[in-house]
Structure 1
Amino acid sequence: MKKLITFTLLLFAMTASSQEINKTTKDDTGKVTGLINICNRVGLQALPEMQQRYDVEYPAYQPDQNTILALQPLMKGKKITIVMGTWCGDSQLQVPHFYKMLDALKITEQDITLICVDHSKKAENGLIDGMNISHVPTFIVSANGKELGRITESPRETLEKDMLSIFAKK
């Protein structure tokens, strides 16, 4: 019985972890129209329309170094969830900027969860249920499984200053 339970748990873990990363969506003709569910930066940049914007927006964004220095110690142990639509102009603009800021902060990919949604702002398998996503992109900062704050659609000041204000609330 113990072996059966262990086998069942192992099988469940393998199934859960085998979710397709960078799953594409397609139109009626079979043309790739975007990404959905869990994605990563490599998958994002593999889409021609995202790559074109990324190539322009990422180098163009220059995070404020003083704000980056103030943020660095605050980011230890934090997780970032990005919910975006590859079809969304705000996502195409802000996500490369956000990645530039995260790179300046030396945030590793393992601390970032990128979730792409469809035009209805939905992902499959309840992936964003309970996240209260009304606009994309949404950048969520969390620690120990608890949301500390979020930036929705576009920053009020700059991405890094808005991130710093999340910590000022605490």
Structure 2
Amino acid sequence: MNSARVSFFIFLLIGFSVLWSEEAMSQDVQDNLIGEVTLDQIIENSRIFKVYVDRYEPDPRDIEYLSSLNGDYSIVVFFGSWCRESTKYTPGLVKTLNLVNNDQIEVTYVGVDEQKKFPNEFLKLFDIKYIPTVVVLKDGNEYGRIVERPQLPIETELVQILKRLQEN
């Protein structure tokens, strides 16, 4: 092969690989979700998020505990559709709460921009500095949070927060 053909071949390979990687990235995360969003919007926005939700296997003991939980609780999940940790850890919480199906646990998802400045009213109200952050509330008061990377499975950390709350 002469050098002109080799150069042309390399040019084509590079061009196709750039186009393919941009296409793959645009199909994985379509838009940065900002503000209060639904779980359906999160899943529609990122194929990989749904894959992680489907694959996650939460601890059955935590599912049992959360299913039998009495009292009204609120969980606010601050995540970034652009954020690797959000994509890695939030699906486990989503799968857990879907399996629990406890009407006494209300979940709100809030998408945050990459600079962590929007939606400002939520970020200031909850003093959010890191993403993802899961805030556990009862009667409007915060009783715990899971910040960025959980040390244990995310559902286990949630159960620990709720058990501490019930002991008080």
**What's the CA shift for 1:125?**
5.2
**What's the CA shift for 1:84?**
0.6
The one-letter code sitting in structure 1 at the alignment partner of 2:35 is: N
Q: Tell me if the contact between 1:53 and 1:93 (Cα under 8 Å) persists in the aligned partners.
A: no
- Identify the match of residue 62 of structure 2 among 63, 67, 88: 67
Query: Where does structure 1 differ by over 6 angstroms across 4 or more consecutive aligned residues?
Result: none
- Identify the match of residue 150 of structure 2 among 155, 158, 163: 155
CA distance in 2, matches of 1:75, 1:97: 22
Aligned residue for 2:95, secondary structure, equals: helix
Q: Which runs of 5+ in 1 are unaligned?
A: 1-31
Aligned residue for 1:82, secondary structure, equals: strand
Aligned residue for 2:67, secondary structure, equals: helix
CA offsets, 1:101-120, max 9 Å, x none? 11122145981111111111
Q: Percent identity?
A: 26
Q: Which has the larger radius of gyration?
A: 2
Q: Tell me if the contact between 2:73 and 2:104 (Cα under 8 Å) persists in the aligned partners.
A: no
Aligned residue for 2:86, secondary structure, equals: helix
* TM-score normalised by the chain length of structure 1: 0.72
Seen in structure 2, the aligned counterparts of structure 1 residues 99 and 109 have a Cα distance that, compared at 3 Å, is farther
Q: Does 1:36 align with 2:34?
A: yes
Seen in structure 2, the aligned counterparts of structure 1 residues 81 and 128 have a Cα distance that, compared at 3 Å, is same
Higher helix share: 2
The one-letter code sitting in structure 2 at the alignment partner of 1:139 is: V
- Identify the match of residue 89 of structure 2 among 91, 94, 100: 94
Residue in structure 2 matched with residue 135 of structure 1 by the alignment: 130
Q: Superposition RMSD on alpha carbons, in Å?
A: 2.0
Q: Tell me if the contact between 1:78 and 1:143 (Cα under 8 Å) persists in the aligned partners.
A: yes
Matched positions, count: 136
Q: Which runs of 5+ in 2 are unaligned?
A: 1-29
The one-letter code sitting in structure 2 at the alignment partner of 1:120 is: Q
